[in-house]
Amino acid sequence: MKIFKTAEALHNEWLKLRKRHISIGFVPTMGALHDGHIALVQEAKLHNPFVITSIFVNPTQFNNAQDFKLYPISVEDDLNHLEDAGCDAVFLPSVDEIYPPDFKAPIYPLGYLETVLEGAYRPGHFQGVCQVVDRLLQIVQPDEMLLGRKDFQQCKVIEKMVELKNYPTRLTLVDTLRETDGLAMSSRNRRLTTDQRQRAPLIYKALLSVKNKLHTKDVNTIIINEIRNLEESGFKVDYLQLANAFNLEPLQQWNGENAVILVAAYLDNIRLIDNIEIEGKPS
């Protein structure tokens, strides 16, 4: 497995691959890898002879400085896991490599997508996400980029940015991997105490409860009850929302369209997010 720290070194390798018409798959990460990340790499290997992963904790997408400071770092372990998974290369850039001194952050016209849910609670977050993914796509120039569905709204934002910039890269979204008790795999799970880890799966249970009751009860009543249950278990809920799966507009009831139930909640200072997608009824 090759390791690149600069765009220049990466481009020298890419020239060889392009001459041989080799397809490149790309998995962007912030490190602290878990089985969900590895599943993305393995999926990329099914479609591309050459797969590269980036590890870069992007400072511009953290609107909470303490959250950025506490983000887990485990580069050596990450590299071992990636090599075991058959990853061909890793891009390990510095902040100056991604954001050189002359870098001017563009403004991405994301519209409604960055005003709701995560956007409402983390102002500027999705502009930072677009900045780093835009830069990585400029540098890596992959044929395919793979993203995990756990960050559903982020996937929609990146789809929008790719469309705005007219990148030829195709996006592949991979299903969320879960622990045996249903908790969505996340790098932040490493920060959970034993007690918090025992309570964390209640987020997924709340999503399942809303999904299972969509046909029988008023959606707002269901959601209010599940928020109350989570808060009684020690969570601080930012949102629990049923939304249209294409544009994330909130739904007051489910009428058979493709939909998604999204949740974000704190356990003390650790913020967890999750979602369940609902397939629309045949028309």
Q: Domain-by-domain residue ranges, the chain?
A: 2-174, 187-275
Active site residue 125: no
Instruction: Please tell me the distance from the alpha carbon of residue 12 to that of residue 221, in angstroms, as a whole number.
Output: 58
* CATH number for region 187-275: 3.30.1300.10
Please say whether the beta carbons of 4 and 136 come within 8 A: no
Instruction: Please tell me the distance from the alpha carbon of residue 40 to that of residue 144, in angstroms, as a whole number.
Output: 11
Give me the half-sphere count of Cα atoms (radius 13 Å) on the Cβ side of residue 33. Answer: 26
What are the tens digits of pLDDT across the range 13-63? 887 887 788 899 999 999 999 999 999 999 999 999 999 999 999 999 987
Catalytically annotated residue among 37, 47, 125, 215? 37
Burial profile 120-147: b = 16 or more Cβ within 10 angstroms, e = fewer: eebeebbbbbbbbbbbbbebbbbebbbb
Domain range 2-174, its CATH number among 3.40.50.620, 3.90.79.10, 3.40.50.12780, 3.40.50.80: 3.40.50.620
Instruction: Please tell me the distance from the alpha carbon of residue 171 to that of residue 43, in angstroms, as a whole number.
Output: 12
- Is pLDDT at 217 greater than 80 in this prediction? no
- Please report, as a single letter, which amino acid is at residue 192: L
What are the tens digits of pLDDT across the range 124-139? 999 999 999 999 999 9
What are the tens digits of pLDDT across the range 156-202? 999 999 999 999 999 999 999 999 999 999 999 999 999 999 999 99
The radius of gyration computed from the CA coordinates of the chain, to the nearest angstrom, equals 19
- Is pLDDT at 256 greater than 70 in this prediction? yes
Quick one: pLDDT at residue 89? 95
- The contacts of residue 274 (CB under 8 Å, 6+ apart) are 150, 176, 184, 203, 204, 207, 262, 263
